Amino acid sequence: MTKQKLSKNIFLIGFMGTGKSTVARNLCEQHGFKIIEMDETIEEREGMSVSEIFSKKGESYFRQLETNLLIETQTQQGLVISCGGGVPLREQNVIEMKKNGMVFLLTAKPETIYDRVKDCHNRPLLENNMTVSFIAKLMEKRREKYEACADYVIYVDHKSVEEICEEILSQINE
């Protein structure tokens, strides 16, 4: 492992299934950064899965937990934060990320995303909508906000996790 010091936080944003968590884990394992996986952190704190939070407490309750967690990250440096796919949709979240972070948008073709998420049952927004066309429509609806939030865009189709991490690191070290 090569230990590297980050003066900012790294935020990984992007649609469900673009590989944010895997890339964050790899960056942290290889380079000694500290990871925050937002969905996992929220699930641990609430003692429930994201799907249960959506069904028992509602989506807006979950969205507020995301905002609270982002605000907390402001007290630390050198974190890699794997954001839930909905995080860039709230303006307040974008403001928080920009205060102390470099924001990397991971993006892929809807077909690639479908292949990765089709057998998963932990994403309430896709649970009854598991089709390429639904994914493509939701991605298009979110595209403007994702792009406005991003400092860098990384296309992940046909790339290994290592290649994606290299792209991110080369931007960090510029």
The site for ligand S3P (CB under 6 A) is made up of 16, 20, 39, 50, 84-86, 123-125
From the CB of 146, what's the least distance to ligand S3P, in Å?
10
From the CB of 74, what's the least distance to ligand S3P, in Å?
20
Q: Would you call 78 helix, strand, or coil by DSSP?
A: coil
| Closer residue to ligand S3P, CB minimum distance, 39 or 96 | 39
Query: Which residues, at least 6 apart from 158, have a Cβ–Cβ distance to it below 8 Å?
Result: none
From the CB of 33, what's the least distance to ligand S3P, in Å?
18
| Closer residue to ligand S3P, CB minimum distance, 59 or 170 | 59
| Closer residue to ligand S3P, CB minimum distance, 4 or 46 | 46
E strand or H helix at 76: none
Closest C-alpha to 172, from 150, 152, 158, 149: 152
| Closer residue to ligand S3P, CB minimum distance, 86 or 110 | 86
